[in-house]
């Protein structure tokens, strides 16, 4: 079974620039999550999708972050404009809907904002 | 709001030692608890998942226990090896498919 794919692996941008991350979940996984992980901390949920609908985006800074999952498969997360405090690893995770299905993570995108 | 705590934040042990990692959570109304391993520069890899009705799960040298009423879980690693060096995180899932993560315990197993 192919895992969760993310790209790019690394990105360095200057503050006020924009950046986009891409995620392809495991085939058949209807639930998709984007997390932000700052060094030394656990992942913090940014947004949760069920198919192509948003379930929870309460912690997404909507003035600068946006995410979409148009066809219920791939997803993109965008930051515009970036701030220094956005430097973190952005992790995508997916799982089968409901029950005790485990969460599967991609390798993440490490963003550095200078 | 659910809060998940992992103590200690870091642990260093000699190879071969048995060790226990701790995870505590404030709201006992969980659906399940999952233990993950994270290597530097990588995503999280699922190790064990314990359903709320279960007391423990085992996989190889790993054994995870769950005491939901007291808000605690432990991950027991037997006969530790240098390859076990990584950060271990626990996460609890609520009834709305939302996960709450601890900050992890960074384990170093010395040869």
A3-27 per-position pLDDT tens digit: 999 999 999 999 999 999 999 999 9
Average pLDDT over residues B63-88: 97
List, in sequence order, every residue forming a beta bridge with A10; answer none if it has no partner.
Answer: A110
What part of A 32-51 touches B (C-beta under 8 Å)? 33, 40-45, 48, 50
Q: Please check whether residue A25 touches B, CB under 8 A.
A: no
Task: Pull the structure tokens for residue A65.
Answer: 């972050």
Q: Is the pLDDT of residue B94 over 70?
A: yes
Q: Is the pLDDT of residue A70 over 90?
A: no
What part of B 15-34 touches A (C-beta under 8 Å)? 31-32, 34
Average pLDDT over residues A40-58: 94
How far apart CA A113 and CA A18 sit, in angstroms, is: 10
Q: Which of B3, B6, B2 is nearest to B73 (CA)?
A: B6
pLDDT band at residue A1 using 50, 70 and 90 as cut-offs: low
> In the block, which residue shows the tokens 């992942």?
A43
Q: Is the pLDDT of residue B110 over 80?
A: yes
Average pLDDT over residues B52-77: 96
Q: Please check whether residue B44 touches A, CB under 8 A.
A: yes
Average pLDDT over residues B4-19: 96
Instruction: Give B-chain residues touching A103 at CB under 8 angstroms.
Output: 34, 44, 46, 91, 93, 99
Q: Which of A41, A43, A65 is nearest to A54 (CA)?
A: A65
DSSP state at residue A28: T
How far apart CA A15 and CA A81 sit, in angstroms, is: 7
What DSSP string runs through A49-100?
Answer: EETTEEEE-TTS-TTTEEEE-TTSS-EEEEESS--GGG-EEEEEEEE-SSTT
Q: Please check whether residue B92 touches A, CB under 8 A.
A: no
Residue B95 has what pLDDT? 86
Average pLDDT over residues B59-86: 97
The CA-to-CA distance between both ends of chain A, in Å, stands at 37
């Amino acid at each position: 079974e192919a895992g969760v794919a993310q790209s790019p692996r690394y990105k360095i941008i200057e503050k006020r620039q924009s950046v986009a991350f891409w995620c392809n979940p495991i085939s058949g996984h209807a639930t998709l999550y984007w997390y932000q992980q700052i060094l030394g901390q656990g992942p913090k949920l940014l947004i949760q999708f069920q198919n192509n609908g948003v379930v929870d985006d309460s912690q997404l800074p909507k003035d600068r972050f946006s995410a979409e999952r148009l066809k219920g498969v791939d997803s993109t997360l965008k930051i515009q404009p970036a701030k220094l405090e956005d430097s973190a690893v952005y992790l995508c995770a997916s799982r089968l809907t409901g029950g005790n299905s485990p969460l599967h993570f991609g390798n993440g995108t490490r963003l550095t904002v200078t | 709001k659910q809060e998940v705590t992992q103590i200690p934040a870091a642990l260093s042990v000699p190879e071969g030692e048995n060790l226990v990692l701790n995870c505590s959570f404030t709201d006992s109304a969980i659906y399940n608890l999952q233990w993950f391993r994270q290597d530097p520069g990588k995503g999280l890899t699922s190790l064990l998942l314990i359903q709320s009705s279960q007391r423990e799960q085992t996989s190889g040298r790993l054994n995870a226990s769950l005491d939901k009423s007291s808000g605690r879980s432990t991950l027991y690693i037997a006969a530790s090896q240098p390859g076990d060096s990584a950060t271990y995180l626990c996460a609890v899932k609520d009834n709305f498919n939302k996960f709450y993560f601890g900050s992890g315990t960074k384990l170093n197993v010395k040869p």
